[in-house]
Amino acid sequence: MSKNLDDVSFPEEGFDAFPERLKEIIGTATLKDFAAAVGISEGGLRKYLPPARSVPSFDKVSRFARYRGVSLEWLSTGEGEKYALESNSSQELGKEFALIDGYHSTIDQISDDEYAGEVRRRLAFRKKWLSWRGFNPDNLKVFFVKSAVEGGLINGGDTVMIDFADRVLSDGAFALKLKGATVIRWLVVKVDGGVDVHADMNQASIESLSGTEADKLNLLGRVVWLGKDLS
């Protein structure tokens, strides 16, 4: 399947210092001239500079890197050499990052099958990080939650990544079927084999299941990454 680079972006985690690196490579050029050179508007460029916090698509980051001859890895993560010996953004993408399919969905539409809907965009995660966490990219999906969920672990507008291969009951956040509905809950396994179910990890449990009831939980997958707006 071909991937449209306009639909690929980087997660905010580990991307905090990108605006400063972008400012560094712009150097003494005017924002108007730099924006024109990379094919975006001056206003669009300003969204990625301090104090703004917008996360650009991969296509835009690669254009910035190519124009200034810097390494895509350095520009996007701050790691590695600033200047690449050979600039090839598509090859760097495949070498350094795994693209995880992303879906716009309500909580109830979260699924590991065709009912997840159409892939709307892809998030790029560093392969080193995925390997360190023990994740197989083929088992991961990202969901951009569009439902107005409030007061729990997940809110409307959040981005959540789920490992659908991890369905082993243990402490942590899971997508699961509970009383006929798909929900995301924080689960705490008790010493007697029962499970306390929490709407959020910092809230009191909303339900306590016996060991027999816990064995019947329909776990869809473990929540392994969560992106939130801070304001």
Note whether 161 and 142 are within 8 A (CB): yes
Q: Which two tokens mark 181?
A: 């509905």
The residues pairing with 103 across neighbouring beta strands, listed in sequence order, are 143
CA proximity to 125, closest of 158, 153, 94, 103:
94
E strand residue ranges, 106-217: 121-126, 140-145, 159-163, 172-178, 181-189, 195-198, 205-209
Same domain, 169 and 64: no
Q: Tell me, yes or no, whether 82 and 103 share the same domain.
A: no
Q: What distances in angstroms separate CA 116 from CA 36, 136, 138, 150, 194, one per listed residue?
A: 38, 19, 15, 22, 30
219 and 107 share one domain: yes
Q: Which tens digits make up the pLDDT trace of 96-126? A: 788 888 888 777 777 766 556 677 777 888 8
Residue 150 lies in a domain: yes
Q: Is residue 92 part of a domain?
A: no
pLDDT digits (tens, 9 = 90+) for 28-87: 889 998 988 888 899 989 988 888 777 788 778 888 888 888 888 888 888 877 876 544
pLDDT value of residue 157: 75
Q: Say which amino acid occupies 108.
A: D
Q: What is the CATH number of the domain that holds 28?
A: 1.10.260.40
Total domains, the chain: 2
pLDDT at 107: 77
Which residue bears the tokens 């990544």?
161
State which residues form the domain around 51. Answer: 5-87
Confidence of residue 224 (pLDDT cuts 50, 70, 90): very high
Same domain, 31 and 75: yes
Statement: the pTM of the whole predicted model exceeds 0.85: no
Q: Is the residue at 151 inside a domain? A: yes
122 and 222 part of one domain:
yes
Look at residue 33 and tell me if it is in a domain.
yes
In a domain, 93, yes or no: no
| Dihedral sign of CA atoms 136, 137, 138, 139 in order | positive
* Domain identity same for 146 and 210: yes
